[in-house]
Every structure is written in structure tokens, then in C-alpha cells.
Amino acid sequence: MKGSHSRRGNCLDNACIESFFSHLKTENNYFSLCETERKLSQAIQDYIWFYNHERFQKKLNQYTPIEYRNTLIT
């Protein structure tokens, strides 16, 4: 994996992805149980799908990110 760094002194550059990683780490304690890199990769992909399609978010009026995006399109 390759790290991502924002501009020096500007913590807001990566605020949305930092929030995502915080949720990823706190909501998926089972990552430590993954025995192979392939299983870990699949677990992360599964969480990303869950986060975007099933996880309701208060800041998005209780929509999932995909549902919220679709409300903006129509």
C-alpha cells in the first residue's frame, strides 16, 4: 500500500478519507483474523461496498452515500 499525504499544515485536504479510514478501522475488528493478503483485500473490498451501499449516514440524511448521490442527480 502507498500512503497518501496532504499539503503540510492543511489537515482538511484528506478529511473525508480520514473519516472513512476511521470507520474502517473501528467497524472491522475482524481484519486481524484474515490469514492471507487475499482475504484481507477481499474483506476491505466488502467493507467498501457495505459503506457505499448499505451503511446509512446521519450527515447524509440517513441515506447511504450511493442513495444520497442519486437524490442529487434526480
Which pLDDT value is given to residue 58? Answer: 87
Predicted confidence at residue 5, as pLDDT, reads 62
Predicted pLDDT of residue 66: 92
Distance, CA of 17 to CA of 24 (rounded, Å): 10
Query: Per-residue pLDDT for the chain (74 aa), expressed as one digit of tens each?
Result: 566 666 666 667 677 788 888 888 888 777 778 899 999 899 899 999 998 899 888 888 899 999 998 988 86
Distance CA 16, CA 63 (A): 17
The pLDDT, as a whole number, for residue 42 is: 92
